[in-house]
Amino acid sequence: MPESASGLRDEPFDPEVLQSDLVFEGAVWDVRDDRVRYGDGEIRRQYVAHTGAVAIVALDDDGRVLLIQQYRHPIRHRDWELPAGLLDVAGEEPLAAAQRELAEEADLVADHWEPLVSSWTTPGGNDEIIHVFLATGLRAAETAHARVDEEADIRVEWMPLADAVDAVLTGRMRNGILGLGVMAATLRTRREG
């Protein structure tokens, strides 16, 4: 019996890995080269082995979302993003990482946290999964964080959630995680009334 479209879901699949080599060990993440038995043959794939990440849709009491702008070298842009960061602390749960990142990047804490959406960012090129959280009940952190490198000149802005969605849909803001987060938050707030 065919499965209905509403029942479709991603499916785990674990083909035999014949060989997996670390071809580049980076400061943040690595590159692997795998040979995998697939069907009657084998395939070879290179990909970034990623730690995973978190992002935060921080909404204030006026329905505005917190955006940060920082330089991203691979795209040579200062793009608008959600506060976000790597799951690079051993044993740290995604929620704790999200709470840490909101404090580090925006000097904010939130009273209420809930999972919003999780997504693989580029499954053809890396194994990164990002967990996006909705944070409300925002207030200033007790201490400000020192920032270095690309974070040293982070620009922080508050934007109405609907305007952020419009900026994504019109191509003014192209960060995929920002798009995913603000659209998921919009749907969540509509469903909750």
* Residues with active-site annotation: 151
Query: SS3 of 164, please?
Result: helix
d(CA 13, CA 15): 6
The two three-digit tokens of residue 112, written as one number = 């209420």
3-state secondary structure 46-61: EEEECCCEEEEEEECC
Query: SS3 of 167, please?
Result: helix
Closest C-alpha among 73, 56, 78, 10 to residue 177 = 56
Tell me the residue type at 16.
Answer: E
The two three-digit tokens of residue 182, written as one number = 């603000």
The backbone torsions φ and ψ at residue 7, rounded to the nearest 5 degrees and listed phi first, read -95, 0
Contact 154, 82 (CB under 8 A): no
What are the start-end ranges of the H helices in the chain? 94-106, 161-169, 176-192
